[in-house]
Each structure stands twice: as structure tokens, then as C-alpha cells.
Amino acid sequence: MPLTKTIHRPTLHEELVERLRNLVVEDTLKPGEKVPEKDLCEAFGVSRTPLREALKVLASEGLVVLQANRGARVAEVTREELEKTFPIIAVLEELAGELACQNLSDAEIEVIETRHAAMVKAYLAKDRKTYFQANQDIHNALIEGACNDILETHHRLLASRVRRARFMANLSDDRWAQAIQEHEQMMEKLRVRDAAGLGQLMKTHMMNKYAAHIRALEAVSEDAAEG
């Protein structure tokens, strides 16, 4: 058994992929915005070569769009894209739920149980920030619990594209209550390690989240039409 993890010295382009990805996902670089190589090079203190390498990777992940001779733009998050992405995330979560049921240790389930309690508490206190964090932690734990790094990678790629729509912000009270209830059911399945059951719930949980988002979007566009 190795005493030390093999040290990993990140290259510039790796570092830049990470940083730029964050800028896009955190919405610092807004959808549709141009990604000016020159400015970013100055900001990061690197030359264009590694930055451009990073942009190519981000483009292959779908976070930016490259146009020949016209540089890079931050990819837009279209409704069409959400429509296409959510069902995929849903089936990946379904699979993750099934695998997590099989792979998680009792101790790990206990940890999730704790987080779940924290999330419910945050819900009752209407503390959105804490709720979101706990929610995220639980989902991450389940995905990681699947012990499938490839699944994790693809889930992350899709989730990061969707997260940019940041609809978490307009979570209705109804949907919030429903989400909590769904999480309760998920925990029940997890406790008895009902793999298929948990998978099914996670899938519908994701699709319900999607449906709620669409409703919110439509409410917004109606408001716009009225106003």
C-alpha cells in the first residue's frame, strides 16, 4: 500500500480549465458573453497558449462555444437544452441511486441521514442557503456512493450545464414541500437498501424538479407578457 498519494503537479492548462469552468458555472462569465483571451491572460498572468488549450476543453464540455476566427463565447442555457438535459440527469441519478444502495456502508448512510435531518431543519426554518447546501451534499453523497467515477464525471458535466440556469433561486413553497417529501421517501428506501426503489424516486425527483422549473419559467414569461 502506498504511503503517499502520487503527487499531482497541475499544469497551467489544467489549472485554467478549473478556474474558467468556475467562472462560467458561478455565472461570473455570463451566457452569450465573449471570452476575451487577452484580458483573461492578463488576469491569470499566463500566455495565450495554455488559456486556449483550456478553452478547447471547455468547449468539448459544452460550457463555451468556439467560432472559428471569432473566438469563444459562453454557451447560452436554452430551454431546449434543459429539456434535453434533465431526462439524462434523471436516468443517471436513477442508476446512481441503485448503485449507492448497494455500495454505501451503514456508516455512510448514517452520515447522509444526518445531512437529511439538517436539510429538514433548514426547510422548517426556511433557511434556503443552508437547505441548498445540505441538498447538494446529499445528492453528491449519493452520486459518490455509486462508486462509479465515470458516472460521476458525466453527471457533473451535465449538472454543471444545468446549474447555470440557477432556478434554485425561484423555488416555490409548494415545490419545496414536495421536494422535502420526496427526500423523505428516498431516505426510507435507502434505509432498507431498496435499490430499485431509490433509483426510481431519484429519477422522478429530478423530473419533478425539472417540471417545477418549467412552470417557474412560464410564470416569468407570462409576467413579462402582462407587464
Q: Does 25 engage in binding with DNA (CB under 7 A)?
A: no
Q: What is the DSSP letter of 181?
A: H
CA-CA distance, 177 to 201, in Å (whole number)?
16
If one asks whether residue 11 binds a second copy (CB under 8 A), the answer comes out as: yes
Q: Does 12 bind DNA (CB under 7 A)?
A: yes
Q: Applying CB under 8 A, does 95 fall inside the site for a second copy?
A: yes
Instruction: Answer yes or no whether residue 147 interacts with DNA by CB under 7 A.
Output: no
Q: How far apart are the C-alpha atoms of 117 and 79, rounded to whole Å? A: 33
Side chain identity at residue 119, one-letter code: M
CA 11 – CA 217 distance, rounded (Å): 41
Out of 1, 3, 7, 68, the residue judged to bind DNA by CB under 7 A: 68
Interaction of residue 84 with a second copy, rule CB under 8 A:
yes
Choices 144-152, 171-179, 187-195, 207-215; region in contact with a second copy by CB under 8 A: 144-152
Single out the residue of 26, 28, 32, 36 in contact with DNA (rule: CB under 7 A). 36
**Distance, CA of 139 to CA of 201 (rounded, Å):** 13
Distance CA 109, CA 57 (A): 35
Joined grid coordinates for residue 11:
499544469
- Regarding 73 and contact with a second copy (CB under 8 A), the answer is no
- The amino acid at residue 28 is T
Among 37, 81, 108, 194, binds a second copy (CB under 8 A): 81
By CB under 7 A, residue 52 contacts DNA: yes
3-class SS string, 59-104: HHHCCEEEECCCEEEECCCCHHHHHHHHHHHHHHHHHHHHHHHHHC
> Which of 92/119 has CB closer to a second copy?
92
Stretch that binds DNA, among 17-25, 30-38, 86-94, 102-110 (CB under 7 A): 30-38
Q: Give the cell for residue 36.
A: 476575451
Distance CA 213, CA 174 (A): 12
When asked if residue 50 is in the footprint of DNA (CB under 7 A), the reply is: yes
Residues that bind a second copy (CB under 8 A): 9-11, 13, 17, 49, 52-54, 56-57, 59-62, 66, 68, 81, 84-85, 87-88, 91-92, 94-95, 99, 148-151, 153-154, 157-158
